[in-house]
Each structure stands twice: as structure tokens, then as C-alpha cells.
Amino acid sequence: MKHTISVLLQNKPGVLSRVTGLFSGRGFNIESLSVAETLEPSISCLTLVTRGDEAIIEQITKQLHKLIDVIKVTDISDSEYVEREMVLIRVKAEAQTRAEVLRVIDIFRGKVVDVSPKSYAVEVTGSASKVQAIIDILRPIGIQEIVRTGTIAMARASKK
């Protein structure tokens, strides 16, 4: 099962390696990881996507919480949440495919952020599956380069 875990941690040198070291040392896997500072500059928010059965996810959250520099661990996928990922794709765009590429980008509500005579660089945001979908569509046309941010996520606010 895929889980998206949000971790608040002290924004100090070496803290990220405590988290990644924990995963490699205990044989947990990381599918994606994204980290940046929060409103409070001394605290960072790290979002990671991992896979495992219930027992493994329980160990992952407990082990993360055990790290002294970790303030809070939330398995966001326990409840309703929104997730987003951004991808930058440089796709081949020559005379016969330029129009087709633009149509695809439009369907995915992407933006062209860089243009050259033979390629477009495209920005698309969405869930991990949407990002994967546009990659799959553009692949036959010719993807030259791709950079993904990894997923970030936020629990939905209570509706009450």
C-alpha cells in the first residue's frame, strides 16, 4: 500500500540524512521525498511517499518519531488529502509535432515555460498519476529531459 507521510522536523544541518539514513538502514523504501521550510523558518516540512504493509508503515512512523529532531509525523493517507507534484518535461517539438504537443499540454492544463526551435519545456502539476499520464502520452513524441519534484501533500480541512 502506498502511504504519504508528512514529517515536521528541525531545520538544522544533518537532519535530512537522519531521515534518509533511517530508511536505508532499516530497509524501508522511499518512492519520493520533498522537503522545504515551513512558515516557521526553524522548522521544515518533509513529505515522503513510501510503500509497505500496515506493520511496516507503523514502524516507519514510530521510527521517524523517535528521531530527536523530528517534531511531528502524520500519515496523511490515513484520511482525505490533496497531493500535488510538479514535473518539467523537455519534449521534442518539430514542425510536424508542435501542434500536437501543444494540444496535449492544453488537455493537461500545463504551461510551456521554455521554447526552442526543436523543443518545448513544459510545466505540469497534479497528482502523481496525472503527472505519470502526461509523461506516458508525450513519451512516443520524444521526451528529452524530465525533472519531477516528488509529491507534496496536505490533509483536507475538516468539513464540520
CA angle 6-49-76, nearest 5°? Answer: 40
User: Out of 39, 68, 95, 157, which residue is the one contacting other proteins (CB under 8 A)?
Assistant: 68
Give the residue, chosen from 1, 2, 21, 115, that forms a contact with other proteins under the rule CB under 8 A. 21
Candidate list 2, 62, 109, 118; residue touching other proteins; CB under 8 A: 62
Q: Does 25 bind other proteins (CB under 8 A)?
A: yes
Largest Cα separation within the chain, whole Å, is: 57
> What is residue 28's DSSP assignment?
-
According to CB under 8 A, which one of 34, 63, 125, 149 is a site residue for other proteins? 63
For residue 4, the minimal CB distance to other proteins (Å) is 21
Is the C-alpha dihedral spanning 66, 70, 71, 74 positive or negative?
negative
Contact set with other proteins (CB under 8 A): 10, 13-14, 17-18, 21-22, 25, 55, 58-59, 62-63, 65-66, 68-71
